[in-house]
A and B are shown apart, each in its own frame.
Chain A
Amino acid sequence: LAKTTQPISMDSYEGQEVNITCSHNNIATNDYITWYQQFPSQGPRFIIQGYKTKVTNEVASLFIPADRKSSTLSLPRVSLSDTAVYYCLVGDMRDDKIIFGKGTRLHILP
């Protein structure tokens, strides 16, 4: 499983766009990039998944450069309720387990 590195914490303000970058220099050809969101005392929740270029859904966008050694989760116009820990994971779709890192603790200020 490829190792990921992401900032430990970030602060932003309501209404701003937030970008969280994750480094995964040893990503393998078959690996996908998945982001989860976790609120306190709850389980992680799937946000978005991608392989290359750009993926967008109703919650976020995921930007993946051509070399795939990093990815950026973009949250448009955040609100206080987006305060959570965000995890970047990299792994083969056939993996039967996922290993979480420390994630990025995002704090949205009014």
Chain B
Amino acid sequence: ETGVTQTPRHLVMGMTNKKSLKCEQHLGHNAMYWYKQSAKKPLELMFVYNFKEQTENNSVPSRFSPECPNSSHLFLHLHTLQPEDSALYLCASSQDGGGANYGYTFGSGTRLTVV
């Protein structure tokens, strides 16, 4: 357990479904991130939140919609996804939005399969 909890661990959804991924951290961090990792590819940064404000949207399609109600919780709302969106979605948090001290803490991810 890293201190960053992601649910669900596995998700299978149809292309017309709407689902949400949840991330929660109790480390006192104030920055949270969503990354996507497709098979055999590097991690891709999707969104960055600092103090609940979105500071980065890395050209992510609108079918992915992030929400950060407070510094401890981060959601990724999914709708009308495509099969190529199947991947491991990772949440991370950090203190002060930077690489200070011991960097970033990642959750174990949600393995998403779009059918």
Query: How many contacts A-B (CB < 8 Å)?
Result: 67
B residues touching A (Cβ–Cβ < 8 Å)?
A: 2, 4, 31, 33, 35, 42-43, 45, 48, 50, 55-56, 88, 90-92, 97-100, 102-109, 111
Query: Which of chain B's residues have a CB closer than 8 A to the CB of A99?
Result: 45
Q: Judging by beta carbons under 8 Å apart, are B88 and A91 in contact?
A: no
Q: Judging by beta carbons under 8 Å apart, are A49 and B102 in contact?
A: yes
Q: What are 17 pairs between A and B in contact, CB < 8 Å?
A: A32-B99, A41-B109, A42-B108, A43-B2, A43-B92, A43-B109, A44-B90, A44-B104, A44-B106, A45-B2, A45-B106, A46-B105, A89-B99, A94-B100, A96-B56, A97-B48, A100-B43
Given the contacts A41-B88, A43-B108, A49-B103, A100 and B42 also touching, CB distance less than 8 Å: yes
Query: Which of chain B's residues have a CB closer than 8 A to the CB of A91?
Result: 99
Closest-CB distance, A29 to chain B (whole angstroms): 15
Q: Judging by beta carbons under 8 Å apart, are B103 and A98 in contact?
A: yes
Complex: how many Å from CA A93 to CA B2?
Answer: 21
Q: Judging by beta carbons under 8 Å apart, are A103 and B42 in contact?
A: yes
Query: Which of chain A's residues have a CB closer than 8 A to the CB of B102?
Result: 46, 49
Q: Which of A68-110 contact B (CB under 8 A)?
A: 89, 91-103
Closest-CB distance, A39 to chain B (whole angstroms): 10
Contact of A41 among B50, B91, B111 (CB under 8 A): B111
Q: Judging by beta carbons under 8 Å apart, are A97 and B33 in contact?
A: yes
Query: Which of chain A's residues have a CB closer than 8 A to the CB of B42?
Result: 100-103
> Which residue from chain A places its CB closest to the CB of B40 in the assembled complex?
A102
Complex: how many Å from CA A101 to CA B42?
Answer: 6
Query: Which of chain A's residues have a CB closer than 8 A to the CB of B50?
Result: 96
Q: Judging by beta carbons under 8 Å apart, are A96 and B104 in contact?
A: no
